[in-house]
Each structure stands twice: as C-alpha cells, then as structure tokens.
Structure 1
Amino acid sequence: MFKKVLVVEDFDVINSGIKTVLDEINIQTVDYVSYCDEAFLKIKKAHLINKPYQLIISDLSFENDGTPQKLKSGDELIEKIRKEFSDLKIIVFSVEDKPFRIQSLYKNLNIQGYIWKNRNGLKELKKTIHKTFTSNEFCISPGLKSAIHPKETIEITSYDIHIIAQLSKGVLQDNLPRMFEEKGIKPSGKSSIEKRLKFLKEHFNANNPAHLVAIAKDFGLI
C-alpha cells in the first residue's frame, strides 16, 4: 500500500472523511494542504529530499479567500505536476461532473482515478486507492462513466474551446479566421471554422453562437 500521500482539499469536513479512509487502510504518512501552490512546493521538496509522495488526492475547485495563488485550481496543479513528475499517481476527488473537464484530466493529464463527491464518494475513494496501488486501470465513479465512454460522448477539442472562448469575448465569427491565423491556431480557414461551429451548435442544440456560449458555460467548457 502507499506509504506517503498528499491530500489537497480546502474544506475541513471533507478532509475528516478522507482521513478516516486513509486511517482504515493504514497509510503511514499523510499531509493535508488547502492551497495548490503549497501542494506543489511540498511535492517538489519531498522529491528533492528523496522522500517523494506516492499518491496525490486532490479536489479541483478551491475557495478564494484572498490569499494570492499562482495555481488557482486542481486542474492547474495537476498540469504542473505532470510537467515535472509524470509518474506520480493522482486521484481527483471532486463534486465536478462536467464531461469535458473529466475527459481532459483523463486523456491529457493521465490521472489514475476520478471520484465523485456524492453519498458513496468515500467508499469509492477507498476502492480506488486500492486499485491504483495494485493496477494501472483507470477508476471512475459509476455515475460518471459516460464522460469517458467513446460511444456515449464526443470529444470536445482544444480547437473547439478556442472558438467558443473567442465568441464569449465578443469576437465576431467573421473575425475568427484572421485572429486564429495571428495566434497560429490551425485550421484558421473560414470554411473550417464555420464547419466546426456548425457541428458544435448541432451537438449542443444551440440556436446561435450566443446560445452556444451560454451552454458551454453551463457545461464548464469555458
């Protein structure tokens, strides 16, 4: 079993539940932090003194209490970890259930598990810790499996996000080709952008670009 674990969570009541789970499976060393910047510094220091963490359990959303932070979300923390510690095992424990966010963490940041904070969350977390230690199988809460099932969802790409994000800033559709060309985003052709935008509106059943932006915000895409 893992001997050293770091929990990144800013609510004490959640930490209490996680602590109970980790005590039950006899984790020797557990550290708790409430800020992503502090978490990364701890991970880096542990690595430098040759006492690395073996598992990170992290939330995605953190309350802004006014403390200046470079890493403002669990997504940003995990991305930073992956750049320097590609083999470190990570389990996300979050209330977030947006498919795109889960897909991104699973496909792009290679997390080992995604557990939903619901009434069975702590039980699922305990099972996932065991599976993560004994196998390379990705673990996800049963209620979220459709988020990564290729037959039940489409993949929203970074290109799609660029399109929607610019529209949300008030950029006109006709101005996207020039902007994409300047930013080096490809394809930047008018027909390519129109084709993808048409697909996105049909997929999300959006009446127009403004409606698409509103739906995308609801899904946590932007």
Structure 2
Amino acid sequence: MFKKVLIAEDADFMSSGIKVALENMQIPNVEYAQYCDEAFLKLKKAWLDNEPFDLLVSDLSFKDNIHEQRLESGEDLIAEAKKLQPTLKTVVFSVEDKPYRIQQLCNELAVNAYVWKSNHGQRELKKAVQSVFNGEFFITPQLAHALRDKEAFEVTDYDVFLLKHLAEGLDQKEISEALKNKDIKPSSVSSVEKRLKLLKENFNANNPTQLIAITKDFGLI
C-alpha cells in the first residue's frame, strides 16, 4: 500500500472521515493541505527532500482565501504536480459530475481515479486508492458513462464556444464573427459549419435544437 499520501481538501479534514478512511488502509503517513498553493509547496518540499508523496488526492474547487492563490483549483494543482513529479499518482475527489469536466480531467490530465463525493464517497475513495495502488484506473460507477461511447468524443473549448453561441440563437455567420472578435481560429463560416456537423453526428442530433438539448444534458453548456 501507499506509504505517503497528501490530501488537498478545503473542508474540515479532521471531521471529514477521509483521514480515518485512509489510515484504516494502513497508510502510515497521511498529510493535509487546505489550499492548492499549500499542497504544491508540500509536494515540492517532499520531492526536494527526496521523500516524495506516493499519491495526491484532491478536490477540484476550493473556497476563496484572503491571500491570493497562484493555483486556484484542483485541476491547476494536479497539472503542476505532474510537471514536478510525473510518476505521482492522482485521485480526484469531487462533487463535480458533468461528463465534459470528467472527460477533461481523465483524458487531458490523466488522473488515475475519479471519485464522486456522494453518500458513499468515502467507501468509493478507499476502493479508488486500492485500485490505483494495484495499477488500475477507477471511476465511481455512476459516472462511468462519461467515458463511454458518444460521450467520450473529445469536446474542446472551441466546441463549447460554438455550442453556447448556438444556444443563444446565433446563426453560423454570427458565430463566425464572434470567433473573429475573440481572435479564435478557425473562424470561417465553413469551419463552423463543419464542426457543428461533426458535433451533431457524434451526439446523434438531427438538428441544432436537438444538439443544444443533448449537450445541455451532458453538462457542456
């Protein structure tokens, strides 16, 4: 089992049960950080001292701090942590359940597990830690659909921009102008048309109205 684990969580850690859950797994060294910058400093110090953490468990959202934070989210923290220590195992522990966000974290940041904070969150977290230790990927079963079939189609920020403006009632020419105003490329009408067509095909939508409805259900807009 892992020997040294860092928890990045802004809730009351001692009363959350997470620490107890991990200690019950015979993890001898479980440390805690309330903010992302604090967590990264702990990771960096441990790395420089040649006593690195084996696992980072992080929430995604953190309450505002009176002091300005360089790293504002768990996503920022995980990205920086992997630059510092590429072999570090990472687990997301969050209330976030939108497929788009889950896809981003699993595909772009290559997290080792995604655990949904629910009534069974602590139990799922223990399963996730064990799975990651065994070299396996883990995701809370209720969220596994986010990585399957059509939902696994890679949706980019560019796509979200198109969908949001489509939902606002803009036509393809107007969306093209909005892209040009933001200096986002490709911005031609034909590029917008091709991408929207591809989105409709991947989400099995027959028309723009249906595409908007489906992607809203998936949490994209």
Same fold (TM over 0.5): yes
Q: Report the count of equivalent residues.
A: 214
Task: Find the counterpart in structure 2 of residue 175 from structure 1.
Answer: 177
Deviation at 1:188, TM superposition (A): 3.5
Could you state the TM-score of these two structures normalised by the residue count of structure 1?
Answer: 0.81
* SS at structure 1 position matched to 2:81: helix
Q: Deviations over 1:60-84 (max 9, x none)?
A: 0111143311211111111222223
Structure 1: stretches of 5+ with no match in the other structure: none
Task: Verify the 8 A CA contact 1:9 1:15 in the aligned structure 2.
Answer: no
Q: Is the 8 A contact 2:113 2:137 kept in 1?
A: yes
Aligned position for 2:189: 190
> CA 1:118 to 1:208, structure 2 compared with 1: closer, same or farther past 3 Å?
closer
RMSD of aligned residue pairs (Cα, Å)? 3.2
| Closer, same or farther: CA 131–152 of 1 in aligned 2, 3 Å | same
Separation in 1, partners of 2:98, 2:193: 25
Q: Which residue in the other structure is 1:32 paired with?
A: 32
Identity %: 45
SS in 2 for 1:90: strand
Structure 1 residues 68, 201: closer, same or farther in 2, change over 3 A? farther
C-alpha displacement of 1:128:
1.2
- In the alignment, is the contact (CA less than 8 A) between 2:93 and 2:114 conserved in 1? yes
Shift of 1:119: 1.2
Q: Distance in 2 between matches of 1:167 and 1:29?
A: 50
Does residue 145 (structure 1) correspond to residue 144 (structure 2)? The answer is: yes
1:215 positional shift: 4.0
In structure 2, the residue matched to 1:81 is 81
Q: Do 2:176 and 2:188's aligned partners in 1 also have CA atoms closer than 8 Å?
A: no
**Does the CA-based 8 Å contact 1:8-1:35 persist in structure 2?**
yes
> Which structure 2 residue ranges, 5 or more long, are not aligned?
none
Q: Which amino acid aligns with 1:94?
A: S
What SS class does the counterpart of residue 56 from structure 2 fall into?
A: strand
Alignment TM-score, normalising by the size of structure 2: 0.82
Cα 1:57–1:3, aligned 2, differ >3 Å: closer, same or farther? same
Instruction: Supply the distance in 1 between the matched residues of 2:146 and 2:105 (Cα, whole angstroms).
Output: 11
Per-residue CA deviations over 1:26-49 (Å, capped at 9, x if unaligned) read 111111111011111111111011
Report the equivalent of 2:46.
46
Match of 1:119 in 2: 119
